[in-house]
Amino acid sequence: MKILVVDDSKLNLVTAENQLKKIPSITQIFLCQESQNVESLIQEMQFDIILLDVVMPVLSGFDILKLIKSNAQYDDIPVIMFTSLSDEGSFEKCFNLGASDYITKPIIPIEFNARIKAAIENRAKSIKLKKMILDAQKQNNEFKEINLQLRSTQFHLVQSEKMAAIGQLAAGVAHEINNPIGFIGSNLEILSKYLNRISEYLLFIEKKQNELKSISNAECDRIINETMEKYNKLKIKYILDELSNIVSDSENGVERVKNIVQSLRVFARSADDDEKETYLLLDIINSVINISINEIKYVAKVKVDFDRELMVYCNKVQLGQVLINIIVNAAQAIKSQQNNTLGEISIGAYIKEEYLCIKIKDNGPGIPKDIISKIFEPFFTTKDVGQGTGLGLSVSYDIITKKHNGLIEVDSIVDNGTTFTIKLPTYISK
């Protein structure tokens, strides 16, 4: 323990030193006779205890005590007043200013030893406590750090799981649909050919009936009339017209399903694959609309309006994922308004400065000001439990900013709608 004794009397200093030397736990004793030097001494050395005279020229013990207790760097050093004063007022002042104890002069060895030892014990305890607090703080910071790391790992795990699940789902659905749609398509083709033949045959019959009419034979007339009647009764002409409509509608449907399967296949690739290429933006947007059509069609019309030639350099699966998240959010927001009329989601794109900007605008309920800063946070959702994981936009943010060096911005007016803008750098676009 390092102790500093401050007193303007040399005799007092020496007497105190002699007493202190007898206490084994005191390893260093510093004596100071000039009160004006105390502050610099304290700043320089790390004292454990200060023994401080009260009445001194230049700076009094009160002044020095005030100085010590007002500086957070050393205000915890216990100060024992070393005094020959005996009036109560001075004692009260010392304690009010933060003194820990007092020792009277001239020194009474038993009192001196007891008070110094008590101060040493207190100091040792407070040093131990301080160390414990520091250790606890350090541990707390480490826990905080670990917690942050855990959250981030959890986020990335859920994110990649979600992406992988979408990829797997897309691959599975595409595969399952592809086979039946294949044979439905070829059956329709055969059906259409057969229908043509049946039509041709019926026309042939009609022609032959006309030929028979000209022969003018009562028996022939009867047979012709009967077949005509049957033809009319069974509405064969109507059925033939309808059948060809049905076949062409079905072919149309098969074509659409094929497009969806094609779009699903785009997403059936691994989400870990960060590969980027240049694509026609319209192709990606069409695939995305095809896939999310079920979420959208009953709540909103989708308007796509931009230069068809616009190209985008991106990872197709990842950008598709972002667009689906934003479009599905827009559809869900419009749906939450429970209006009877269809809402509108419009998708625009243009080049501005060094960015390709994709804007997705909806006329839904908008996002209140107090939550707009939170929507990109992982797990933030306003949807009911089980309806939203709150990951859609945080995953999108990660994909656009980290994986594509781009920006994602939101602009919203309550009761008016929301616009998300994705900005992808064009300097890598070809």
Ligand X SMILES: Nc1ncnc2c1ncn2[C@@H]1O[C@H](COP(=O)(O)OP(=O)(O)OP(=O)(O)O)[C@@H](O)[C@H]1O
Q: Is 418 in the site for Mg ion (CB under 5 A)?
A: no
Cα angle for residues 139, 140, 144 (degrees, 5° grid): 115
Q: Residue 181 in 3-state DSSP?
A: helix
Q: Is 296 in the site for ligand X (CB under 6 A)?
A: no
| Min separation Cβ 326 and Mg ion, Å | 8
Q: Is 99 in the site for ligand X (CB under 6 A)?
A: no
* Distinct helix (H) and strand (E) counts, the chain: 11, 12
Distance CA 398, CA 318 (A): 10
Q: Is 167 in the site for Mg ion (CB under 5 A)?
A: no
Q: Token pair of 207, please? A: 């022609």
Q: Is 391 in the site for ligand X (CB under 6 A)?
A: yes
Choose from ligand X, Mg ion, none: what does 98 bind? Cβ within 5-8 Å by kind. none
Distance CA 338, CA 272 (A): 38
- Burial readout 156-192 (b: 16 or more C-beta within 10 A, e: otherwise): eebbeebbeebbeebbebbeeeeeebeeebeebeeee
Q: Is 418 in the site for ligand X (CB under 6 A)?
A: yes
> Among residue numbers 322 through 341, which ones bind Mg ion (CB under 5 A)?
329
Q: Token pair of 277, please? A: 């290429």
Task: Give the residue with the Cβ less far from ligand X, 188 or 299.
Answer: 299
Q: Is 392 in the site for Mg ion (CB under 5 A)?
A: yes
Prior bond of 425 cis (ω within 30°): no
Query: Do the beta carbons of residue 62 and residue 54 sit within 8 Å?
Result: yes
Task: Give the residue with the Cβ less far from ligand X, 155 or 231.
Answer: 155
Query: Do the beta carbons of residue 41 and residue 33 sit within 8 Å?
Result: no
Q: Is 400 in the site for ligand X (CB under 6 A)?
A: no
> Among residue numbers 300 through 329, which ones bind ligand X (CB under 6 A)?
325, 329
Query: Could you say which of 42, 393, 422, 424 contacts ligand X (CB under 6 A)?
Result: 393
Choose from Mg ion, ligand X, none: what does 418 bind? Cβ within 5-8 Å by kind. ligand X
Choose from ligand X, Mg ion, none: what does 167 bind? Cβ within 5-8 Å by kind. none
Query: Could you say which of 168, 382, 426, 429 contacts ligand X (CB under 6 A)?
Result: 382
Choose from ligand X, Mg ion, none: what does 367 bind? Cβ within 5-8 Å by kind. ligand X
| Min separation Cβ 366 and ligand X, Å | 6
Structure-token match 């781009």, residue found: 406
Choose from Mg ion, ligand X, none: what does 391 bind? Cβ within 5-8 Å by kind. ligand X
| Min separation Cβ 244 and ligand X, Å | 44
HSE-up (13 A, CA, CB side) for residue 26: 23
Structure-token match 């002042």, residue found: 93
| Min separation Cβ 402 and ligand X, Å | 16
CA 55 to chain CA centroid, Å, is: 65
Q: Which residues bind ligand X (CB under 6 A)?
A: 325, 329-330, 333, 362, 364-365, 367, 375, 380-383, 388-394, 418
